[in-house]
Amino acid sequence: MSAQQPLEGSTDARGRKIALIAARFNDFIVSSLLKGAEAAWVEHGGALEALTVVRVPGAFELPVAARRLAATGRYDALVALGCVIRGGTPHFEYVAGECARGLQQVALSTGVPVIFGVLTVDTVEQAIERAATGAGNKGAEALESALMMAGLFAALGS
Ligand code: INI
């Protein structure tokens, strides 16, 4: 006797509706996450014209934009991209904490997967490492997670 095959969705991007929400704050990092996500979308068979990209001021605004997009019912999954770098003040905790909490709340309340592609790091160097082109780009990883969740939910049916 063996267990059933785990139910996993296809990560084929064709026909999927995904929106990327990217913060402008720390754009020198977030634009690389965005490029990584777009490249992963194309790698998985998606057409760039079929990918929605919206920009918000900072990570703190990602949840409300995600909520608005989820409410349209047009998207199979959302990817939130941002970068919060720890400074000498408690601001980091507020921005990073509320961003993570808010995004999960949107996912749980709407049922639309919201992927946490927000870097929360201590130093600029750590951010650069995670936004570099190629393997390890967290934007690309976030996009792949979105495709996995969209594929899984498609396989589960409504
Ligand atoms: N926003 C970020 O995305 N990353 C940060 O590191 C950051 N810091 O450090 O302040 C940040 N602040 C802006 C915040 O997200 C809001 O846009 C702003 O407070 C207006 O609501």
Indicate if ligand 1 lies below 6 Å from the C-beta of 38.
no
**DSSP state for residue 76 in the 8-state scheme:** S
8 residue type, one letter? E
pLDDT of residue 127: 96
Q: Is residue 12 part of a domain?
A: no
CA–centroid distance, 96 to ligand 1, in Å, is 9
1-39: pLDDT as tens digits: 678 888 888 899 999 999 999 999 999 999 999 999 999
* Nearest ligand 1 atom to alpha carbon 24: 3
CA 84/CA 149 separation, integer angstroms: 25
Q: Is residue 13 part of a domain?
A: no
90-131: pLDDT as tens digits: 889 999 999 999 999 999 999 999 999 999 999 999 999 999
Catalytically active residues, by annotation: 91
pLDDT of residue 158: 62
pLDDT of residue 114: 98
Cβ-contact 133, 36 below 8 angstroms: yes
CB atoms under 10 Å from CB of 133, counted, come to 11
- Under 8 Å CB-to-CB from 134, ≥6 apart: which residues? none
CA 151 to chain centre: 15
Mean of the pLDDT values across residues 46-69?
97
Alpha helices by DSSP H, listed for 54-123, are 62-71, 91-110
- Under 8 Å CB-to-CB from 50, ≥6 apart: which residues? 17
Task: Give the lowest-confidence range in 58-67, 74-83, 128-137, 138-147.
Answer: 128-137
Q: Is residue 76 part of a domain?
A: yes
Indicate if ligand 1 lies below 6 Å from the C-beta of 116.
no
* Nearest ligand 1 atom to alpha carbon 30: 3
121: β partners: 85
Q: Is residue 86 part of a domain?
A: no
Containing domain of residue 126, as a range? 18-80+92-150
Task: Check pLDDT > 80 for residue 51.
Answer: yes
CA–centroid distance, 10 to ligand 1, in Å, is 35
Indicate if ligand 1 lies below 6 Å from the C-beta of 84.
yes
Domains in the chain, number: 1
CATH at 38: 3.40.50.960
Indicate if ligand 1 lies below 6 Å from the C-beta of 120.
no
Q: Is residue 112 part of a domain?
A: yes
